[in-house]
Amino acid sequence: MDTHLPILTTHVFRAQEIDDTTAYSPAVSLVNAQSNGYFSIQLLLTGDGTLADLFYQVTIDGINFLKPVSASSIATTFTKTSGTGSNGRDIIAFNPELGVAIRFGATVSGTATLSAMLCMQ
């Protein structure tokens, strides 16, 4: 019996310009993806704005997305000089609460362009 579970990736933000607001990603189904519960997100931020808060929301009913009380922000005060290479790029692991779908919110002060890819197993 093969117990290997696939690693799934999907773009949640594709070079999306965000200007002094909160933008939300499309919902990503977790129905077949949360067997092991491993999640990480790869970020690329350009522009002079600051990613003040990158957070997730989950849904159990498939309609209402909520940020759980126990949830922590994925990234805060992230800029084009943040990340391990000081180049606006990073990979961050996080542990969302159980739900049938997840979406991401990105709050930016100023103007920045965000690309983000979710990886889960």
- Domain annotation covers residue 39: yes
How many structural domains compose the chain?
A: 1
pLDDT of residue 41: 98
Confidence of residue 1 (pLDDT cuts 50, 70, 90): very low
CA distance 6 to 60: 23
- Inside any domain, residue 71: yes
Q: What is the pLDDT of residues 27-36, one digit of tens each?
A: 999 887 656 7
Q: What is the mean pLDDT of the chain?
A: 93
In a domain, 111, yes or no: yes
Can you give the residue range of the structural domain that contains 76? 8-120
pLDDT over 70 (residue 2): no
Answer for the pair 39, 91: CB distance below 8 angstroms, yes or no.
no
CATH code at position 38: 2.60.120.660
**Mean pLDDT score, 19-32:** 93
Task: Determine, yes or no, domain membership for 1.
Answer: no
- pLDDT at position 73 over 90: yes
**Is residue 2 one of the residues assigned to a domain?**
no
